[in-house]
Amino acid sequence: MIVTQSQTNFICPITQLEMKKPVKNKVCGHTYEEEAIVRMIESKHRRRKKACCPKIGCSHTDVKMSDLVQDEALRRAIESHNKKRNRHSE
Ligand SMILES: [Zn+2]
């Protein structure tokens, strides 16, 4: 399987799956699957810990829910990428 740079960006660093609802961290600029990052932040905060950015190599160690914004552009890019792929397999 050939993984191009653009396809790699569709993958959530937490789930390792293609994102359906990507959210962007305003602070470090990384994107994650919304459900996965929210769950991660909540479970860390329950244990009174800070949530580190799950992206490998990122030094951001205090990811907050308020720093996450919906990444509409990326969501559309993933959708159109999937549409193309589906058409191709028909
Ligand atoms: Zn990050």
In this structure, are residues 12 and 21 in contact, taking their beta carbons and an 8 Å threshold?
no
d(CA 25, CA 82): 24
pLDDT tens per residue, range 8-61? 689 999 999 999 999 999 999 999 999 999 999 999 999 999 999 999 999 999
Paired strand residues for 69: 24
CA of 68 to the centre of ligand 1 (A): 11
Query: What integer pLDDT is reported at residue 35 of this predicted model?
Result: 98
Sheet of strand 22-25, all strands in order from the earlier edge strand to the far edge: 31-33, 22-25, 68-70
CA of 24 to the centre of ligand 1 (A): 9
> What is the distance between the alpha carbons of residues 83 and 16, in angstroms, rounded to a whole number?
20
Ligand 1 centroid vs 87 CA: distance in angstroms? 34
By the CB criterion, residues less than 5 angstroms from ion ligand 1 are: 28, 30, 53, 55, 58, 60
Structural domains for the chain: 5-89 (3.30.40.10)
Rg (CA), the chain: 14
What distance in angstroms lies between residue 27's CA and the mean position of ligand 1's atoms? 8
